[in-house]
């Protein structure tokens, strides 16, 4: 049998000399975690046992309930699949976690019910999507990527990737254009369905606005190459972690104001130096103070 190899180039244990490297399995979220903060990436994906995270925040509960309501609407019988079904769908999907108190939870329940109802009013119930919360995947010579699409529409024979957003500010066309996850989802859909998919849309549920971008073949190829580049760096870091664990120097924290919101802050001394930790309901309070209709994890 061949020797087992585990090198800093990312070679997996159990590989034979001369054999190609195994594909790096990842989701867009994992790739972005590596870019955002290698320390958080290590704690989230490599440390065993995984460090305990803080309890879910209220804005996460709002986002999850919104997504579930919009998903479940399409499962309703035709005769009741109307915007009027929105409030009950939100109520049954509501997650009462992370809020300051019952009054704040009730206030945001009513807010989200109104926003979801308004958004559903702009949909045509007679034309269901091709997929809802659909898992998509593709492979290159470097990565095996898997992700989940909120909604997949058929528009004139071409497929369109739709992502729901519940942040306190509307998405921009530049965000749709530069989003690595959205481009990778489009590439995966094209590969899986063997149908052209180049348009991606960010649907901001609170305002009903849509930020969209239509990729070219070349821009999708560039995004896939970007993902491969990130994967190569993460693979090398993963391999060193297997060899020397937390002694590795490849997982420094990227210290910023976002450290105040990090789920792993309690385990990161550098992150703890960035002001006080934000409360579980802080993002909602910011929205209330600014008069915005909804808040989420966008804390910039």
Q: Nearest 5°: phi and psi at 64?
A: -65, -45
DSSP labels for 41-72? HIIIII-SSPPPPPPPPHHHHHHHHHHHHHHH
Q: CA-CA distance, 250 to 47, in Å (whole number)?
A: 14
- pLDDT number for residue 16: 59
> What is the C-alpha to C-alpha distance for residues 93 and 67, in angstroms, rounded to an integer?
9
Under the banding of pLDDT at 50, 70 and 90, the label for residue 54 is very high
Reported as a single tens digit per residue, the pLDDT across 131-170 is: 999 999 999 999 999 999 999 999 988 999 999 999 888 9
Distance (Å, whole) CA 71 – CA 107: 23
Q: How far apart are CA 142 and CA 126, in angstroms?
A: 41
> What Å distances lie between residue 289 and 108, 225, 285, CA to CA?
14, 42, 6
Mean pLDDT across the chain, nearest whole number?
A: 91
| 264 within 8 A of 51, measured Cβ to Cβ | yes
Dump pLDDT digits (tens) for 259-288.
Answer: 999 999 999 999 999 989 999 999 998 777
Handedness of CA 261, 262, 265, 266 (dihedral sign): positive
CATH class of the domain comprising 131-226: alpha beta
Which uninterrupted H or E stretch holds 165?
Answer: strand 158-165
């Amino acid at each position: 049998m061949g020797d087992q190899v585990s090198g800093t180039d990312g070679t997996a244990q159990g590989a034979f000399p001369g054999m190609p490297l195994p594909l790096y399995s990842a989701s867009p979220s994992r790739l972005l975690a590596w870019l955002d903060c290698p320390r958080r990436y290590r704690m989230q994906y490599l440390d065993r046992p995984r460090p305990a995270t803080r309890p879910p925040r209220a804005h996460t509960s709002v986002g999850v309930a919104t997504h579930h309501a919009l998903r479940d609407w399409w499962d309703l019988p035709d005769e009741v699949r109307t915007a009027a079904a929105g409030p009950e769908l939100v109520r049954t999907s509501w997650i009462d976690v992370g809020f300051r108190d019952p009054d704040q939870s009730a206030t945001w329940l009513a807010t989200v019910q109104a926003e979801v109802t308004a958004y559903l009013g702009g949909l045509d119930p007679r034309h269901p999507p091709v997929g809802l919360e659909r898992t998509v995947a593709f492979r290159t010579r470097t990565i095996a990527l898997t992700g989940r699409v909120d909604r997949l529409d058929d528009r004139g024979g071409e497929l369109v990737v739709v992502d729901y957003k519940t942040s306190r500010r509307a998405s921009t066309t530049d965000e749709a254009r530069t989003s690595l996850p959205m481009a990778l989802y489009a590439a995966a859909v094209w590969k899986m369905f063997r149908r052209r998919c180049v348009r991606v849309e960010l649907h901001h549920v609170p305002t009903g606005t849509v930020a969209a971008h239509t990729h070219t073949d070349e821009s999708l190829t560039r995004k896939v190459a970007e993902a491969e580049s990130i994967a190569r760096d993460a693979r090398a870091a993963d391999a060193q972690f297997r060899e020397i664990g937390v002694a590795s120097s490849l997982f420094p924290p990227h210290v910023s104001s976002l450290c105040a919101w990090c789920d792993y802050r309690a385990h990161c001394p550098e992150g703890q130096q960035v002001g006080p930790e934000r409360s579980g309901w802080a993002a909602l309070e910011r929205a209330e103070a600014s008069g915005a209709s909804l808040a989420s994890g966008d804390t910039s």
